[in-house]
Amino acid sequence: MPNVFDFTFGNETDSLKECIARSPILWDELEKQPSKFRVLTGERTTGALHIGHYFGSLKSRVTLQNWGVDMFLVLADYQAITDRTSTEKLKESINEIILDYLAVGLQPEKTTIFCHSMIPSLNQLMLPFLSVVTMSELQRNPTVKEEIALSGTRSVSGLMMTYPVHQAADILFCKGNVVPGGKDQLPHIELTRLIARRINKLYFNGENFFPEPELLLSAPMLLGIDGRKMGKSLHNAIYIKMTADETAQLIKRAKTDSEINISYDPNNRPEVANLLRLYSLCTGVSPETIANQIGAKGASALKKNLTEVVNEYFRPMRERRKEYVGDKAFIWKILKDGNSKANEIANKTLNELSKAMHMQYY
């Protein structure tokens, strides 16, 4: 997993440092003893996935799957409405994401794909979980704070404040012990650990009914072609599902700088460095070597070659995606099967917990 250890964060907190140090060891354990782990991760259902998602997380999920790690992927449709209220597009987003999963090589026979809105017992776990979390713990979550700031809204919904608790339910309903994610997920994982610990102490005499999951840190995401964060709303993302032509047009528009000679200088030339990193991810050649090869040929040569390697890299995935794109019945069958497996597990977990809480009255 070479690109997974390539961190360039700066000002890390202690717990993030710990996490950075731990992640390569965890990778090693996952490869050697896959049966010790249950991995739970997923995404908000806000639309199709881009190549930043691919290199940041989908690629490593496929690796874990193929090592035989038991993996659950949550399509977090309730989390998609923390900062917006419209729900009409959720269904199409779920369809797109499952197509992307299939394209990149995730296999529903091996990996359970479900959406949390259709797992009632998972959602009910949120109530006992909320009972062990304080308001100030919710209010100081840095990821939530940042999302509120970014959204620019003055009226923050209750779901926005509590979704990390809901996320704990996503993870703990199936007793996930490893959660792949970016560093922004660390506060949520810490909260999940806290909830697990408190519930275990309160209702299970400190026995490990719920595991305390660990964050398996993913590499920082690629930037968009304009040098900003690659994002769905910024029109700066190369999507897995794009055609070769769409990809070419987007890369043609990519921001570079006024210096003609191509060099790899992440601090002073972030946009060029980002293109070189993408090139490197698609070819396995280091960004420095690529920069040397292109050198005086400049940005247009870089973009032309980059377009070719990106299109070549994603061609088989895009072809696979096309095979499934018209088959809605197949996509919904995948979700239905995943949901039914998740429901079975969630019912069992909730049943055991409510028994321990003396809440089965007859």
Least separation in angstroms between CB 167 and ligand TRP: 4
Instruction: Sketch the per residue contact string, 178 through 197, with ligand TRP: x for CB under 6 A, - otherwise.
Output: -x-x---x------------
- 82 near ligand TRP, rule: CB under 6 A: no
Which CB atom, from 44 or from 269, has the smaller least distance to ligand TRP? 44
104 contacts 54 by C-beta, under 8 angstroms: yes
- 167 near ligand TRP, rule: CB under 6 A: yes
Distances 362 to 71, 278, 348, 350, 358 between C-alpha atoms, Å? 35, 60, 17, 16, 10
- 76 near ligand TRP, rule: CB under 6 A: yes
Distances 331 to 50, 102, 107, 146, 284 between C-alpha atoms, Å? 19, 10, 12, 34, 33
Which CB atom, from 169 or from 275, has the smaller least distance to ligand TRP? 169
Least separation in angstroms between CB 183 and ligand TRP: 12
Which CB atom, from 212 or from 265, has the smaller least distance to ligand TRP? 212
What's the rounded Cα separation, in Å, for the pair 362 and 350? 16
What's the rounded Cα separation, in Å, for the pair 130 and 133? 5
Among 39, 51, 74, 317, binds ligand TRP (CB under 6 A): 74
SS3 at position 38? strand
Which CB atom, from 75 or from 275, has the smaller least distance to ligand TRP? 75
Which CB atom, from 189 or from 310, has the smaller least distance to ligand TRP? 189
CA 165 to centroid of chain Cα atoms: 17
DSSP state of 89: T
Least separation in angstroms between CB 297 and ligand TRP: 38
177 contacts 38 by C-beta, under 8 angstroms: yes
CB neighbour list of residue 19: distance below 8 Å, 6 or more residues apart: 183, 186, 214, 215, 217
- 100 near ligand TRP, rule: CB under 6 A: no
Q: Closest residue to ligand TRP, Cβ-based?
A: 76
Task: Please provide the DSSP assignment of 138-207 as one string.
Answer: HHT-HHHHHHHHHHT-SS--HHHHHHHHHHHHHHHTTT--EEEE-GGGHHHHHHHHHHHHHHHHHHSTT-
Which CB atom, from 43 or from 271, has the smaller least distance to ligand TRP? 43
The pairing of strands 111-115 and 70-76 is parallel
> Across the chain, where does the E strand assignment appear?
38-44, 70-76, 111-115, 178-181, 214-217
Least separation in angstroms between CB 178 and ligand TRP: 10
Residues binding ligand TRP: number (CB under 6 A):
14
Least separation in angstroms between CB 144 and ligand TRP: 10
Instruction: Sketch the per residue contact string, 34 through 63, with ligand TRP: x for CB under 6 A, - otherwise.
Output: ------xxxxx-------------------
Region of 46-54, 72-80, 94-102, 271-279 interacting with ligand TRP (CB under 6 A): 72-80
SS3 at position 294? helix
- 171 near ligand TRP, rule: CB under 6 A: yes
Region of 23-31, 149-157, 167-175, 233-241 interacting with ligand TRP (CB under 6 A): 167-175
CA 241 to centroid of chain Cα atoms: 18
Footprint of ligand TRP on this chain (CB under 6 A)? 40-44, 74, 76, 79, 167, 170-171, 179, 181, 185
